[in-house]
Structure 1
């Protein structure tokens, strides 16, 4: 596992998004109902509508578990439309935080977590043991990461 030590911004963010879209087949964004009105997100959600796979009401997602509430978790295909929108609306990984944008942008490869983000906590990691993927991640200029083993 590669832990991301510093918020990827600008070119680092753009290159990380490009890589995630090459490797992964879906991503999710979360709208928490306990954080105010969700109506303001309608224009954003409309832009991503053609990439939508499904929306689920969940109390748990890649980086968070709620105890007495649910959130709307939107699952999207990693297509060119979605990639351009993620780059248009944010300039860093931790920009994905309510009330400005949906939360916790996370990517999945074959149904398994790959890039997991908790924007409020400013924590993220990439769960891979694939040497080629690790080398590609490490080749992103100035991306600050360190290896960590699961116990």
Structure 2
């Protein structure tokens, strides 16, 4: 089994995923808009603005996959609640780079630091309201 976070955005999924591709080193494998859905699929009555929004996007990297879509008039945006995307990285240097990239335009909620369970751990909410936990496990 492989668990894949599926995020929802308020019209900014494409922008967020382009940023994540740069920061996390992944590749956008698929990006489909509501306006590309076949006739009769339930998207026909969406506004022109909603038709341009992302219906599905997937980003894959060496050991991860993220997926997302934009909310629309049928499924309004409710924000990200009660969850964080947790990244386990191999080195403190990589954690610092990823943490800084995710913090661009966002808010650091816990600076990267050594903890009793991790070589380095920190929390940040990115510019799109997604909470992230960055962790480098202690070795040995």
State TM-score, norm by structure 2: 0.37
Relative contact order (alpha carbons < 8 A, sep ≥ 6): 1 or 2 greater? 1
State TM-score, norm by structure 1: 0.35
Higher helix proportion (structure 1 or 2): 1
Of structures 1 and 2, the larger Rg is shown by 2
